[in-house]
Amino acid sequence: MKKLLIVYHSQGGKNLEMANAVFAGASHDDLKGVEVRFLRAFDATDQDLLWADGIIFGTPENFGYMSGAMKDFLDRTFYAVEGAVDAKPYCIFIGAGNDGQGALSSLTRILKGYKFKEIHEPLIVVGELTEEAKVSCEALGMGMAAGLEAGIY
């Protein structure tokens, strides 16, 4: 079994809805070879990063940066996993108010330090979370899980 970690933060519910859609896509019935772990950033640990074959990170943008909860997760795990997670594939989703670029650049910069490998363009949803955007979230989860299952990352 391949292992996919979805780790997210949400204060107001939008990123939770996005994470749920990502999880639904990654848990599609056709994907029998992937185990998915779905965790809030506050609950995730270094062990989850070591366990995972791939990771999907989801965060709002707060004050032009990733959420404090996601930063806390990275602060707590970096030295514990350094050197043991090189080249693990990852992708990002961001639910923001009107921008998202600050969350994206701050998160991407730190994930470079983990030496993770980005395998999909980030999905940024500003404003209202439409049904179409939820479908994109599902596709992100499904694509990542399918790629892991097929061993292409």
Ligand X SMILES: Cc1cc2nc3c(=O)[nH]c(=O)nc-3n(C[C@H](O)[C@H](O)[C@H](O)COP(=O)(O)O)c2cc1C
Q: How far is the CB of 113 from ligand X (least distance, A)?
A: 22
Q: Assess contact for 91 and 119: CB atoms under 8 A.
A: yes
Q: Please say which residue, 85 or 125, places its beta carbon nearer to ligand X.
A: 125
Q: Which is nearer to ligand X, 30 or 131 (CB)?
A: 131
126 in Cβ contact with 99 (< 8 Å): yes
Which lies closer to ligand X via its Cβ, residue 73 or residue 114? 73
Q: Interface with ligand X by CB under 6 A: which residues? A: 10-16, 60-64, 95-100, 102
Closest C-alpha to 79, from 106, 36, 114, 34: 114
Between 33 and 64, CB nearer to ligand X: 64
Q: How far is the CB of 39 from ligand X (least distance, A)?
A: 15
User: CA-CA distance, 119 to 91, in Å (whole number)?
Assistant: 6
Cβ 151 to ligand X shortest distance, Å: 33
Least Å from the CB of residue 13 to ligand X: 5
Radius of gyration (Cα) for the chain, nearest Å?
Answer: 14
CB atoms within 10 A of CB 24: 15
